[in-house]
Amino acid sequence: MTGAPPGPRTPAGAPGARGEPGAGAAPPKFAVAARAALADTGLRRGLRAGAAAVRERRSAAPEPADWEDLREAGRAIRDGALLGLDAHLEELERAVTEAGGRVHWAAGAAEARRIVTGLVRAAGAAEVVKSTSAVAREIGLNGALARAGVAVRETGFAELVAQLAEDDPEGPAPYRDRARIRELFARRLPGAAGGPPGDPAALAEAARLHLRERFLGARVAVTGANFLVAETGTVVLLESEGNARMCLTLPDTLICVAGIEKVVPAWADMEVLLQLLPRSASGAPMTPYVSSWTGVTAGDGPREFHLVLLDNGRTKALADEVGRAALRCIGCSACLDVCPVYERTGPAPYGPVRAGPIGAILTPQLRGVERAAEASLPFASTLCGACADVCPVKIDIPEVLVHLRGRVVESRRHRPVPTPELVLMRGLAWTMADPRRYEAAVRRGTRWARLMSRGGRIRRLPGLLGKWTEARDLPAPPPETFRAWWSRRHR
Amino acid sequence: MRVALFVACFDDALFPATGRAVTALLERLGHDVSYPPGQTCCGQMHWTTGYHREAAGLARAFTAAFEGAEAIVAPSASCAAAVRDAYPRIARAARDAALARAAEELAVYELTEFLVDVLGVTDVGAYFPHRVTYHPSCQSARTLGVADRPLRLLRAVKGLDLVELPAAQECCGFGGAFAMKNADVSVAMVADKVRHVRDTGADVVCAVDNGCLAHIGGALSRLRGGVRVMHLAEILAGTGPA
Ligand code: SF4
């Protein structure tokens, strides 16, 4: 533990006991879930402080001169990896097997949960140590292990805090400042009450002491992976706390769960990616811990190594010409750090897969857009483009957002009863297809709007536009449109 | 030079003063301004809200309306961006090669690009004796990359006191339909933008997108913020005391 105080990125709920899509009550649309987050003043303060800190770190450590070349190289490496994914995955399986490990293929979340639970049972363990993993959250691994009677010991700081607080794994993560974490530790970790309030080092030390015992006693570890090197069968993990390295090295059985898109062809590719990821993740040129692990070595580290490769919608995303760019993601979170929407809502409204701009383009692809929650995600952006500016592998996030909006609209086009929005947008398109129709409609519309106005402004509008006037005025349209002015002038 | 004016539907109805200002400005600079009557809406709104078929239809109509124009000038960065940046994508999504070709032939410029790059002027002879701050809208700054062109134009305006906007690069929260679909987040964003605007002590906040200005201005108006919003073109068109 290097004692990073909890940042705003505390994940949405304790890494979730979430079932398959469709299980339980339907999650809310982004706009609805965002309302609760916007009202949480502590969360807002934390997010604001987090964003300011990242901005400061970024401006303090300017980009290296070859940054744009690195980004382009990173894009090419990730594109190449996805282009030949079949072959790279086969090579990866071969290399992992040769190094004494085993590869398991999981088509969906349920299968992945079954595989991992089975492996833990086979090892005869009643407890696993676990490091932060987005994929574990995506498939609801913690819940599955708990149901199988396996105690999951989270070792990442944020997850440990969520676990100690017994956060509702399905609900949004409540924001906790250092004082609240200190109080929580004092309650839940015996002997951790020391240290001045809000001292991050004392909090880290308390967590460290608690975790040390877990590590020494653990026989099975579950981790994620940042990269999987096909050529050598190596798992590469980057972290700032050191807990993942303990997970990789101390237990007898190591289970890595990773999405199939994490593969990169060659060890040499790490040269570029290990420069791109740390800087994008934290603004620092290096990550404190870079661990790489290959198979099994006699007398050193785990005696069993399992790599669980998860599809869960990725092959489908790969088939989408525009959407597949999202799979290039190397999980740096830079796009979250600069996103003005994320800065105000935090992670919860994005659901359990991924938060922020990348979540808005990845989640609808992995889970489909049938439900309102996923369908609302591509619309949770102003398309400001700040994310695309910083993405180290040059994912054009706004482009994918607009593309997915199109998919959402298409999926609803043939409903027996058309959505009111579809009727409106079709009507507008029909009106605007002809200058005369357009002119007449503008004349009618502006006359109506002027009737709604008082003192040159409109304070309340009906229907969808009422959302605008909840907090913003609209100027009353002047009596003469530009078009009318032009034709009067040129008569 | 012969300039075909492209006045966005939104500007036509709600902010006609902007189009009039561009006309006055370009004519003052000695150019021949026309307004192709076939234009209605570029299709941006349909494209960004996911109505891609409808957007393709509007894009076809737009390219027909402006076919053969020597230079198309738009006082709306997001609409200029729609034509330049989105039309090729709209054509690809619609698998319409003819539209792709027609779009490629359109020489569309956002106003400040046209003034600085094509006409090579930064001092347009304007006079505007007020304290002004500038909001770089996302489509102008990021999609089009107009960079400091608007600021160079503003700096050359006589009498104008230009003050820097804190956190200028941050989105105002408009985003078209976003302002309605995610109204709460949108308002949270514009609240911060308005705070920054007011911190400058400016009388006027200007931009090259009336959508963003309607958003910022709408919040300022509701709060009686005491700061006016104005399109950059209206400042550049001003010649003040004769
Ligand atoms: S999409 Fe976001 S998290 Fe993924 S690589 Fe790009 S900036 Fe990083």
CA of A9 to the centre of ligand 1 (A): 14
Q: Could you tell me the pLDDT band of residue A9, with boundaries at 50, 70 and 90?
A: very low
pLDDT, position A490: 86
Q: Are residues A22 and A130 in the same domain?
A: yes
Are A468 and A381 members of one domain?
Answer: no
Number of domains in chain A: 2
Mean pLDDT across chain B: 96
Whether residues A338 and A426 share a domain: the answer is: no
Which residues of chain B have a CB within 8 Å of the CB of A446? 13-14
Question: Do the Cβ atoms of A277 and A328 come closer than 8 Å?
Answer: no
Residues of B in contact with A411 (CB under 8 A): none
A297 and A239, same domain (yes or no): yes
In this structure, the answer to whether residues A357 and A467 fall within a common structural domain is no
Instruction: Select from A385, A414, A443 the last residue of a domain.
Output: A414
Rounded to 5 degrees, what angle do the CA atoms B157, B160, B165 make? 110
What pLDDT is attached to residue A11? 37
On whether both A297 and A387 belong to a single domain, the answer is: yes
Local structure of A170: helix, strand or coil: coil
CA torsion B109-B111-B113-B117 (nearest 10°) is 100
Same-domain status, A269 and A406: yes
Report, as an integer, the average pLDDT of A210-236.
93
Q: Which of A7, A482, A341, A377 is nearest to B231 (CA)?
A: A482
Is a pLDDT exceeding 60 seen at residue A13?
Answer: no
B contact test, residue of A384, A438, A470 with most B CBs within 10 A: A384
Asked if A471 reaches chain B (Cβ–Cβ under 8 Å), the answer is yes
Is residue A181, in this structure, part of any structural domain at all? no
Measured between CA atoms, how close is A464 to chain B, in angstroms?
7
Test B54 with A426 for CB contact under 8 angstroms: yes
- Residue A189 belongs to a domain: no
Contacting residues of A for B54, CB less than 8 Å apart: 425-426, 428-429
Instruction: Kindly give the distance from the C-alpha atom of residue A333 to the centroid of ligand 1, in angstroms, as a whole number.
Output: 5
Q: What is the pLDDT of residue A12?
A: 37
Residues in chain B with pLDDT values less than 50 = none
Residue A198 has pLDDT above 70, yes or no: no
Instruction: Classify residue A193: in a domain, yes or no.
Output: no
Question: Is residue A94 in a domain?
Answer: yes
Residue A77 lies in a domain: yes
Name the band, by pLDDT with cuts 50, 70 and 90, for residue A320.
very high
Position A204 in a domain: no
% residues pLDDT > 90 (chain A): 67
Tell whether A386 and A473 lie within a shared domain.
no
Confidence of residue A172 (pLDDT cuts 50, 70, 90): low
Q: Are strands A127-130 and A102-106 parallel, antiparallel or unpaired?
A: unpaired
CB distance from A104 to chain B under 8 Å?
A: no
Per-residue pLDDT tens over the stretch A426-472: 999 999 999 999 999 999 999 999 999 998 999 999 888 899 999 99
Helical (H) or strand (E) element with A237: strand A234-239
> Per residue in A125-153, pLDDT tens?
999 999 988 899 999 999 999 999 999 99
Does residue A430 sit in the same domain as residue A473? yes
> Is residue A474 within 8 Å of B218, Cβ to Cβ?
yes
Query: Which whole-number Å values give the CA distances from A255 to A126, A146, A192, A220, in the listed order?
Result: 15, 17, 31, 8
Q: What is the 3-state secondary structure (H, E, C) of B118-180?
A: HCCCCCCCCECCCEEEECCCHHHHHHHCCCCHHHHHHHCCECCEEECCCCCCCCCCCCCCHHH
Q: In this predicted structure, what is the pLDDT of residue A318?
A: 97
Domains and CATH numbers, chain B: 2-118 (no CATH), 131-237 (3.40.50)
Are A483 and B185 a contacting pair at CB < 8 A? no
What percentage of chain A has pLDDT greater than the value 70? 92
**Which range, of A272-276, A298-302, A306-310, averages the lowest pLDDT?**
A298-302
pLDDT tens for A56-102 read 888 887 888 999 999 999 999 999 999 999 999 999 999 999 999 99
Please name the amino acid found at residue A427: G
Give residues 205 to 244 of A whose Cβ lies within 8 Å of B. Answer: none
Which token pair is A102?
């085993």
In angstroms, the CA B33 to CA A180 distance is 65
Strand partners, A264: A229
Query: Which residues does ligand 1 sit against, CB inside 6 Å?
Result: A 280, 329-335, 358, 390-393, 395
Gap from CA of A471 to ligand 1 centroid (Å): 33
Q: Which of A365, A393, A414 is the last residue of a domain?
A: A414
pLDDT tens sequence across B203-239: 999 999 999 999 999 999 999 999 999 999 999 999 9
Can you give the pLDDT at residue A50? 86
What the block records as the tokens of B91 is 């054509």
Tell me, yes or no, whether A437 and A388 share the same domain. no
B10 contact residues in A (CB cutoff 8 A) = none
A423 touches chain B (CB under 8 A): no
Q: With contact defined as beta carbons under 8 Å apart, do A109 and A142 qualify?
A: no
Asked if residues B216 and B145 have their Cβ atoms less than 8 Å apart, the reply is no
Q: Are residues A128 and A223 in the same domain?
A: yes
Residue in A58, A335, A390 to alter for ligand 1 test, most ligand atoms within 8 A of Cβ: A335
Contact B13 A425 (CB under 8 A): no
Cβ pair A432:B175 closer than 8 A: no
Chain B nearest-CA distance from A384, in A, is: 5
The answer as to whether A299 is a domain residue is: yes
Q: Are residues A431 and A378 in the same domain?
A: no
> pLDDT tier at A193 (50, 70, 90 boundaries)?
low
Give phi and psi for A198, each to the nearest 5: 75, 10
Averaged confidence pLDDT in chain A: 89
Q: Does A383 touch chain B (CB under 8 A)?
A: yes
Domain that holds residue A289: 1-175+219-414
Strands B131-134 and B204-207: parallel
Q: Phi and psi for A127 in degrees, rounded to 5?
A: -150, 140
Of A389, A414, A439, the last residue of a domain is A414
Using a CB-CB cut-off of 8 Å, the residues of chain B touching A425 are 46, 49, 51, 54
Which pLDDT score, from 0 to 100, does residue A422 have?
94
Q: Is the pLDDT of residue A413 over 50?
A: yes
Put simply, the chain A residues between 6 and 65 with a CB less than 8 A from any chain B CB are 30-31, 34-35, 38
A468 touches chain B (CB under 8 A): yes
A118 touches chain B (CB under 8 A): no
pTM of the model: 0.93
Whether A477 is in a domain gets the answer yes
Closest Cα in chain A to B175: A382
Selected for mutation to probe chain A from B66, B78, B87, B182 (highest A CB count within 10 Å) is B182
- Among B7, B14, B32, B139, most A C-beta atoms within 10 A, so best to mutate, is B14
